[in-house]
Structure 1
Amino acid sequence: MSSNHSAEEKRPVRHKLEGPQKAIVSFILSVLLTLIAFATVASGGINTDFIYIILIGCAILQVFVQMAVWMHMKDRGHAYATVAILFGVFIVFTCVIMAEYWAWW
């Protein structure tokens, strides 16, 4: 055996640890989106169609922030949960469309 093992040994792989910075930024973003939605509704002088657009936009952004950071859906190994959530969205969307047709006919 040779005494020079440095050529044969591999350096250990260091994994980057996820610090609290992402959680703090996402928390601030969540609070900011909530305040925007509240301020839009509380102002009272804005057109209702514009209020709906802002509320839906804030809600969609809030969902992405919650799923990516707090539910860790951005990480690998969450394929089953992602498929289940997408299937649930499809079912809800189908129910809303069916309710619209039922109410208007």
Structure 2
Amino acid sequence: MSGQQHSAVNEQEKHHKHEGPKKHIIGFIMSILLTIIAFAMVAAGEINTTFIYLFLVLMACVQVFIQMGFWMHMKDRGHLYPIIGILMGVFVVFTIVIMAEYWAWW
């Protein structure tokens, strides 16, 4: 086998290497911890309601990034088009919500 063919085979093996359950377990534990933290904030009841709402939205955003990275493998190479599609969808949804609020307000 020539050096160039051997290099191509090694590159292909690196690209299709199986991660194993370690990263899934880490992602699962992080998701559970974020859920417990959010539940504890709400269950405390003595915290400002506005702060709790903002905190829950922040926790939801962090949870989305964890789900995208660990479960949907968006952190891996080759996922540019799905990421662009998701960002475009988020942009469209935010635009619709903002325009609906603007329309209802006036």
Q: Normalising by the residue count of structure 1, what TM-score does the alignment of the two structures yield? A: 0.80
**Matches of 1:33 and 1:102, distance apart in 2:** 35
Q: Which residue of 2 aligns with 1:36?
A: 37
Higher relative contact order, structure no. (Cα contacts within 8 Å, ≥ 6 residues apart): 2
**Matches of 2:28 and 2:101, distance apart in 1:** 35
Residue 103 of structure 1, CA deviation: 2.7
**Matches of 1:34 and 1:48, distance apart in 2:** 18
Q: Which is higher, the Rg of structure 1 or of structure 2?
A: 1
Q: Normalising by the residue count of structure 2, what TM-score does the alignment of the two structures yield? A: 0.80
**Matches of 2:89 and 2:74, distance apart in 1:** 16
Aligned partner of residue 46 in structure 1, secondary structure:
coil
Residue 47 of structure 1, CA deviation: 0.5
Identity between Structure 1 and Structure 2 (%): 61
Written as runs of structure 1 = structure 2, the 5 A alignment for 1:83-102 is 83-102=84-103
Size of the aligned set, in residue pairs, is: 99
- Note the residue ranges of structure 2 that are not aligned, 5 or more in a row: none
Residue by residue over 1:23-55, the C-alpha shift from the partner in whole angstroms, topping out at 9 and shown as x without a partner, is 111100000111111111122111011101210
Written as runs of structure 1 = structure 2, the 5 A alignment for 1:1-105 is 13=10, 15=14, 17-105=18-106
- Note the residue ranges of structure 1 that are not aligned, 5 or more in a row: none
Residue by residue over 1:28-86, the C-alpha shift from the partner in whole angstroms, topping out at 9 and shown as x without a partner, is 00001111111111221110111012101110110000001100111122222111101
**Matches of 1:24 and 1:67, distance apart in 2:** 14
**Matches of 1:34 and 1:58, distance apart in 2:** 8
> Greater CA deviation, 56-65 or 15-24?
15-24
